[in-house]
């Protein structure tokens, strides 16, 4: 019988705590078991294995991102929506760098996380809808937007920008460059 108060969502929350405190590489069933105060075999009542737990963590992270990004851009359009999306993206990663690192690299091809990944993708596509891009062009633009955001925040989270120039100014330049590349409706 499962331990009272322990459920799959509670196990995922404990896993996120481990990730937040120790990094994505520290996520093990033993670490989550210690966090929840149960023996490792007790977790198998809630998750099948570490791969399933990693997928559930990825789903939770992408769901958080989709909700946060969607809330930030709702009621906005065009350049303003892109700018707000990019700032919200950066803010999320600054607040949760290890959690962000725990996301699967190619979630649209993983059946365990594709639904959450699609929700997140749809936020980006909705932001770009006002530019009149066809589906293919919107996908290319989304990839560019993700690459800019991911590249910058990953380097920033890793402490890779060692020069003294203002990172906010650099990020603003990246956003302006991307926005300037979009067609004017």
pLDDT tens figures, 98-153? 999 999 988 988 999 999 999 999 999 999 999 999 999 999 999 999 999 999 99
- Find the CATH number of the domain harbouring 122: 1.10.357.10
- Find the CATH number of the domain harbouring 42: 1.10.10.60
**Token pair listed for 156:** 């920033």
pLDDT tens figures, 39-63? 999 999 999 999 999 999 999 999 9
| 61 and 40 in a common domain | no
pLDDT of residue 3: 53
Asked whether residue 5 carries a pLDDT value surpassing 90, the answer given is no
pLDDT of residue 4: 53
| 87 and 162 in a common domain | yes
**Token pair listed for 44:** 């198998």
Q: Find the domain containing 167 and state its range.
A: 56-181
Q: What is the dihedral of CA 169, 174, 179, 181, to 10 degrees?
A: 140
């Amino acid at each position: 019988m499962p331990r009272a108060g322990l459920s799959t969502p509670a196990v995922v929350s404990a896993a996120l705590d481990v990730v937040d405190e120790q990094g994505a590489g520290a996520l093990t069933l033993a670490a989550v078991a210690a966090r929840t105060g149960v023996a490792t075999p007790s977790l198998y009542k809630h998750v099948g294995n570490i791969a399933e737990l990693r997928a559930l963590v990825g789903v939770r992270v992408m769901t958080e991102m989709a909700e946060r990004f969607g809330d930030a851009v709702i009621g906005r359009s065009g350049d303003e929506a892109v700018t707000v999306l990019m700032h919200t993206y950066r803010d999320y990663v600054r607040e949760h760098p290890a959690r962000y690192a725990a996301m699967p690299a190619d979630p649209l091809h993983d059946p365990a996380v594709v639904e959450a990944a699609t929700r997140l993708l749809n936020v980006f596509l909705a932001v770009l809808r006002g530019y009149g891009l066809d589906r293919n062009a919107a996908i290319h633009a989304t990839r560019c937007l993700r690459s800019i955001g991911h590249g910058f925040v990953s380097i920033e989270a890793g402490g890779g920008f060692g020069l003294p120039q203002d990172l906010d100014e650099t990020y603003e330049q990246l956003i302006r460059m991307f926005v300037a590349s979009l067609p004017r409706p």
